[in-house]
Amino acid sequence: MSRGPQKDDCMELKILPGIETPADLKKLPIDQLPDLAAEIRHAICQQIMKTGGHFAPNLGVVELTIALHYVFDFGHDRLLFDVGHQCYPHKLLTGRYPLLSKLRTSAGMAGFPEPRESAYDLFSVGHAGTAISTAVGMARGDTIKGEAFEPEKKPDGRRVVSLIGDASIVNGVAMEGLNNAGTLKRQFLVVLNDNGMSIAKPQGAVAQYLDRVRVNPAYLSVKRAARDALATVPGGSIIGEMYHRTSEMVKEAVAEDAWFEKFGLLTVGPIDGHDIRSLIDMLIEVKDFDRPMVLHVHTVKGKGYEYAEGDATTFHSPKPFNVEGCRVELKGSGRSFTAAFGEAMIDLMNRDESVVAATAAMPDGTGLSKVLPLFPDRAWDTGICESHAMDMMAGLAKTGRKPFFAVYSTFLQRAFDQVFQEVALQGLPVRLCLDRAGLVGGDGAVHHGFCDVSILRVFPDAVLMAAMDEPSLKASLEFMRSYDKGVSAVRYPRDDVSEQFADACPPFELGKARPLVEHESPDIAVLGYGVMAINAIDALEHLNGHSEYKVNVYDARFAKPVDIELIRSLLENNVPIVTVEDHSVTGGFGSSVIEAAADARLDTRLITRLGLPETWIYQGGRGEQLAEAGLDAASIARTIREVLDANGDAPVVEVRPAQPAGAKSR
């Protein structure tokens, strides 16, 4: 194991650059594969040191990915990924090594499986728990088409493999998938990459069961009933022979207490996920088994680098970093909204004992990592189960607690039904803290938080806010603490907080905007939702040659309810309004403004909306993505000029969603 990349930063890549397709991999003798694994780890490490990206998850699956591609033909067979951040080795083995140098940029390799890049990627996937269900669907579809593998009738048919890991097996969708997979009457392989980790330490009874499996010597004994049953199952003789041929390799691999067999899937393992030869031997044995099976593989997250193995949470998806001797230094930036939220929650919980908090497997990503140890009886990590977490929050609210659920905007979607049924319908005050709202940069389309406003504003008594900086974030949390009529939410981006308005922030008043720049008789008003208010302020500097324009800028604060009195005042005085949000233009803040104006019988033709267009925006820098969407300062300034110059001093009479600057339909 390498202490750090300084020991091999001059490693010459002799094998990896020659792998253009898995067919090239299959030409290599098995004894060269460990060298290939070392080169893959080195290439990933050297790149992520420069750009950041998912590090420890990919280091842990190198040998497993090599073995899968060595045995199967995924140009023909099906490979479905779960929590797609484990896909870097797969991409390097399927011809995308040249794209690695521009990882997570628009010109390079996406950080998640992406069918636009390669036919070897079947789904764009960044949410947990989905691979088994989509694999079941492909298995059934191939069977209907007569293309499924059958040992006797169709030996050249398609096999299906689902690779699930990083604790996503505990997700409810994964359980539903397992339940249905057990009814299949064909080959179906679930590879469980069990690394004892999620993004953080996995939570819950299933995770504890797998912990016991890894450490309990009794797991290594053979389940006699399962072995006897194999004799009556087609393909069972293959597994029976495996006991004799590979007993030393897996030390009798059918579990005595195989939990997955309750779903109807024969369970094999655990086996060493870093022993390439053993993995290949096992996969050769199981690939022709014509019933659903789980292959339990034990891996080490961060494998190959001591600092990543020792702190897999920090190195799950680190920023760029340096290694100097035994010291690893992550390259810093400014103060993040995530860090600001975590500290604000500590203050809130110190001041109010009724406040409780939870996250769904994202303690570091949401800022609750510092909260959990300080309040072990009032803060929880539920694991990857947003739906359960939301219902748990509802139960806590029912007992009079004040629950705050810290969740990525993109993952809130998984709990929409629970917000509806158990929270909003009951009138319960659950508070939602939506990190990663808007455009998220390198993680791309799978993680953009683009629809939280549109899905939450349908609920009666819901209050939806956005923070533009750290003081406004603190003020919004304080408002939420005292709001008891229903669900409330505040959104904020994966970005650093601005310090332009670092002075005291006025308290949030329900449905009231905050003026940032005001003129007595403005020519135009910009209502910025959240951090877009900062971009609107910055846009004023781009109005070169138009110093005569008097532009009012407001921190809108609320998407529900909007500041109808402000809107009325502006429109009745024929002041055009531009709304700006890093949310979908469909159903977002701008739509709320138009609907409120229409309900008040005001002239909505004076309103222009800027927001995320109805096209997918893929990986790249957040600044680059904002420019593509027409939401950077220069683009906002351009829209202000267009609105004011369209007919001289006449108001614009067009309602239009923003079109991104240089947008590409992809």
Q: Which value, in Å, is the radius of gyration of the alpha carbons in the chain?
A: 27
DSSP 8-state class, residue 419: I
Contact partners, residue 240, CB within 8 Å, separation at least 6: 227, 230, 231
Catalytic-role residue among 78, 104, 186, 301: 301
The vertex-297 CA angle with 296 and 300, nearest 5°, equals 140
Do 249 and 282 contact (CB within 8 A), yes or no? yes
Strand ranges inside 175-227, DSSP E? 188-194
- The helix (H) or strand (E) run that includes residue 559 is strand 558-560
Under DSSP, is residue 194 helix (H, G, I), strand (E, B) or coil? Answer: strand
Contact partners, residue 72, CB within 8 Å, separation at least 6: 79, 159, 161, 283, 287
Question: Strand 292-298 vs strand 266-272: parallel, antiparallel, or unpaired?
Answer: parallel
Catalytic-role residue among 114, 261, 285, 386: 386
User: Active-site residue 414, yes or no?
Assistant: yes
Contact partners, residue 450, CB within 8 Å, separation at least 6: 409, 438, 439, 583, 584, 612
| CA 608 remoteness from chain centre | 31
- The helix (H) or strand (E) run that includes residue 206 is helix 205-215
User: Active-site residue 301, yes or no?
Assistant: yes
Question: Strand 551-555 vs strand 577-584: parallel, antiparallel, or unpaired?
Answer: unpaired
User: Active-site residue 386, yes or no?
Assistant: yes
155: preceding bond cis by omega (within 30 degrees): no
Do 176 and 133 contact (CB within 8 A), yes or no? yes
Cβ neighbours, 10 Å, residue 231: 10
CA–CA separation, 261 and 612 (whole Å): 46
Nearest to 409 by CA among 384, 434, 388: 434
Catalytic-role residue among 291, 378, 414, 641: 414
Across the chain, how many H-helices and E-strands are there? 26, 19
CA–CA separation, 540 and 281 (whole Å): 65
CA–CA separation, 312 and 319 (whole Å): 14
Catalytic residues: 301, 386, 414
